């Protein structure tokens, strides 16, 4: 199997070399075993001088060989190229194994259910008397919580509101109202008495007597009686006088106001207001207690569901559902049709292999072409088993292309994030890690492109697939670097600027190739539509 993959990879590289013109520059990484050459190179310091010497020596050697033999034999170039690719493949394999070991160690350090930092941090948050429970208790817990302190500060016995409503306080609302009413009544009483006092020559009564005396002197006796009557109405010695009635009404009003703003009377307005405030406070306290219990119960249920999902086999169904949801969303964006088929049998009798089928839409270059998707979150599933299962899924669902989605939790450690074998694409995806969405998007784009290529080859239509093939190869090449460099960036915290820059360049290259692939597919669709119209 490894030999077949190696031969396919070499044929791809040779085809790319043949299809591309000779570049202006060429980067080489050489391993020198000749002792004399090593000694000569070591005489120069590492860096530009040693590289310049090596380049000059290489040029002299090339010119000497060209003079001696004319032109290098094509078979020799092929053999040397194959030897160089074999050495490079060995180094890449060793480097990939090393990166996988580092990735496994880092993932175990953070996500191991027994000793992982993430598990320990979650337990510290959700355990009894944990950080989350302590924060909730401090904020909305017992009598010493921040909420109770705030309410007591605003509505407690020593709060400004209660002091203002307390009748015993000298600066309270009732005392201020009483003083205001008394001052107004005193001022009005003094003003009325002053107006009806004969000692006040400017008063209303004195002016009226003067006018009456001047105009009607003969009516002095009768007027005196009227005056006595009027004075009697404004005399406090007479029980039924108007002034006594006014004083009684004022006293009655003052008593009513005092009674309404007294806490000793349970039916007073102030007492009713206090009862309403206390009721609101009690309801709020009860609501906070109920909310705390609901939060505790919800957290307990969340932890229980997560633990149950990890122990049971339903985590595979959850992963399958997440993959199907992503495919349905992607299908809406591209105009395709996604259908869940995991619960129904296909063309093979009693076989339900194939979780979802993506059918290219009517506006696509290859309408009605199918891509079958198989999602797997099962420990121990190897690449060989996945190939056999996706091949069965293609036959069972009558699909041209297969897409196998491994869960990052259970994927083989040696598998790249995006890997293509013939008409099958294998992707490693984590629904909880948004950065891996690019892997699944690349896999879908590759599957759609391969589906279009297969459909066009089936219909024997003449089309230029060089751009699509180059884009597919570039995506496969860059996707291998993506997983390695991402792992290095997550593991090595210091000195990661070069690694992050490599990630940025790799992602940019991947996105650019995906755009090129989509553009070429669109051009192909337009050209096909034009040929159909002709």
The string of pLDDT tens digits covering residues 403-419 is 999 998 888 888 888 88
pLDDT number for residue 374: 92
Q: Is the pLDDT of residue 462 over 60?
A: no
Percentage, residues of the chain above pLDDT 70: 72
In a domain, 359, yes or no: yes
Highest-confidence range of 75-89, 346-360, 484-498, by mean pLDDT?
346-360
> Could you tell me which of 251, 144, 142 has the C-alpha nearest to residue 189?
251
Q: Is the pLDDT of residue 23 over 60?
A: yes
Angle of helix 173-195 versus helix 242-260 axis, rounded to 10: 170
In a domain, 101, yes or no: no
pLDDT number for residue 230: 74
Highest-confidence range of 26-30, 298-302, 354-358, 413-417, by mean pLDDT?
354-358
Long-range contacts: 254-262, Cβ < 8 Å, 24+? 254/178, 254/181, 254/182, 254/185, 257/177, 257/178, 257/181, 258/174, 258/178, 261/165, 261/167, 261/173, 261/174, 261/177, 262/167, 262/174
pLDDT number for residue 142: 65
pLDDT number for residue 277: 82
Query: What are the tokens at 133?
Result: 């429970």
Secondary structure (H, E, C), 388-435: HHHHHHHHHHCCCEEEEEEECCCCCCCCCCEEEECCEEEEEECCCCHH
Q: Among the three residues 17, 37, 72, which one is the final residue of a domain in this structure?
A: 72
Q: Is the pLDDT of residue 361 over 90?
A: no
In a domain, 120, yes or no: no
Q: Where are the beta strands (DSSP E) in 42-183?
A: none
d(CA 331, CA 339): 10
> Could you tell me which of 96, 91, 89 has the C-alpha nearest to residue 10?
89
d(CA 313, CA 303): 17
Average pLDDT over residues 355-374: 87
**Structural contact between residues 274 and 165, judged by C-beta atoms closer than 8 angstroms:** yes
29-80 residue pLDDT tens: 888 888 888 888 888 888 888 888 888 888 888 877 776 665 556 667 778 8
DSSP helix/strand/coil, 382: coil
In a domain, 473, yes or no: yes
Structural domains counted in the chain: 2
| DSSP conformational letter for 217 | G
Counting DSSP H helices and E strands in the chain, the numbers are 18, 6
Q: Is the pLDDT of residue 387 over 50?
A: yes
Confidence bin at 227 (pLDDT 50/70/90): confident
Q: Is the pLDDT of residue 429 over 80?
A: yes
146-204 residue pLDDT tens: 777 777 776 666 666 666 666 666 666 677 777 788 888 888 888 887 777 778 778 77
Q: Is the pLDDT of residue 464 over 60?
A: no
Q: What is the mean pLDDT of the chain?
A: 76
Confidence bin at 141 (pLDDT 50/70/90): low
d(CA 285, CA 79): 83
In a domain, 345, yes or no: yes
pLDDT number for residue 49: 86
Query: What are the tokens at 531?
Result: 């040929």
In a domain, 98, yes or no: no
**Structural contact between residues 140 and 292, judged by C-beta atoms closer than 8 angstroms:** yes
In a domain, 99, yes or no: no
pLDDT number for residue 340: 92
Q: Among the three residues 10, 44, 72, which one is the final residue of a domain in this structure?
A: 72
Q: Is the pLDDT of residue 8 over 50?
A: no
Beta bridge partners, 314, equal none
In a domain, 205, yes or no: no
pLDDT number for residue 373: 93
Which residues span the domain enclosing 42? 28-72
Cβ neighbour number for residue 397 with a 10 Å cutoff:
25
Cβ neighbors of 134 (< 8 A, separation 6 or more) are none
pLDDT number for residue 463: 47
Beta bridge partners, 337, equal 359
Confidence bin at 487 (pLDDT 50/70/90): low
């Amino acid at each position: 199997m490894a030999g077949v993959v190696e031969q396919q990879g070499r044929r791809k590289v040779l085809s790319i070399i043949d299809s591309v013109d000779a570049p202006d520059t060429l980067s080489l990484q050489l391993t020198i075993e000749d002792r004399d050459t090593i000694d000569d190179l070591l005489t120069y310091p590492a860096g530009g001088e040693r590289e310049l010497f090596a380049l000059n020596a290489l040029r002299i050697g090339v010119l000497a060989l060209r003079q001696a033999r004319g032109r290098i034999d094509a078979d020799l170039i092929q053999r040397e190229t194959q030897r160089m690719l074999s050495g490079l493949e060995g180094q890449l394999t060793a480097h990939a194994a090393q990166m996988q070991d580092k990735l496994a160690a880092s993932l175990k350090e953070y996500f191991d259910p027994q000793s992982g930092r993430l598990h320990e941090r979650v337990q510290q948050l959700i355990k009894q008397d944990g950080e989350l429970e302590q924060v909730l208790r401090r904020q909305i817990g017992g009598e010493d919580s921040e909420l109770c302190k705030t309410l007591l500060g605003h509505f407690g016995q020593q709060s400004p509101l209660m002091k203002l409503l307390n009748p015993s306080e000298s600066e309270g609302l009732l005392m201020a109202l009483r003083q205001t009413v008394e001052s107004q009544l005193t001022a009005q009483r003094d003003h009325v008495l002053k107006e009806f006092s004969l000692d006040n020559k400017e008063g209303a009564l004195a002016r009226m007597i003067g006018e009456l005396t001047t105009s009607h002197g003969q009516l002095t006796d009768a007027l005196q009686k009227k005056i006595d009557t009027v004075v009697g109405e404004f005399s406090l010695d007479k029980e039924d006088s108007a002034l006594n009635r006014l004083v009684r009404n004022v006293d009655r009003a003052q008593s009513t106001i005092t009674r309404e703003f007294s806490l000793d009377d349970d039916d007073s307005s102030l007492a009713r207001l206090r009862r309403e405030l206390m009721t609101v406070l009690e309801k709020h306290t009860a609501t906070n207690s109920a909310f705390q219990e609901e939060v505790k119960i919800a957290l307990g249920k969340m932890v229980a569901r997560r633990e149950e999902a990890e122990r049971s086999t339903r985590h595979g169904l959850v992963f399958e559902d997440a993959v199907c949801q992503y495919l349905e969303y992607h299908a809406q964006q591209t105009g395709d049709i996604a259908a869940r088929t995991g619960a129904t049998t296909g063309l093979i009798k009693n076989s339900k292999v194939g979780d979802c089928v993506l059918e290219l839409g009517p506006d696509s270059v290859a309408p009605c072409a199918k891509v079958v998707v198989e999602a797997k979150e099962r420990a121990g599933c190897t690449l060989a088993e996945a190939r056999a299962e996706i091949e069965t899924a293609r036959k069972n669902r009558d699909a041209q292309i297969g897409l196998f989605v491994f869960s990052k939790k259970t994927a083989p450690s040696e598998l790249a994030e995006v890997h293509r074998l013939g008409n099958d694409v294998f992707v490693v995806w984590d629904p909880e890690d948004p950065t891996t969405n690019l892997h699944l998007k690349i896999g879908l784009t590759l599957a759609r492109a391969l589906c279009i290529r297969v459909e066009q080859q089936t219909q024997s239509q003449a089309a230029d697939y060089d751009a699509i093939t180059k884009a597919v190869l570039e995506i496969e090449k860059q996707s291998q670097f993506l997983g390695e460099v991402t792992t290095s960036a997550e593991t090595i915290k210091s000195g990661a600027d070069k690694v992050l820059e490599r990630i940025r360049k790799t992602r940019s290259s991947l996105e650019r190739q995906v755009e090129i692939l989509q553009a070429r597919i669109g051009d192909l669709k337009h050209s096909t539509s034009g040929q159909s119209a002709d």
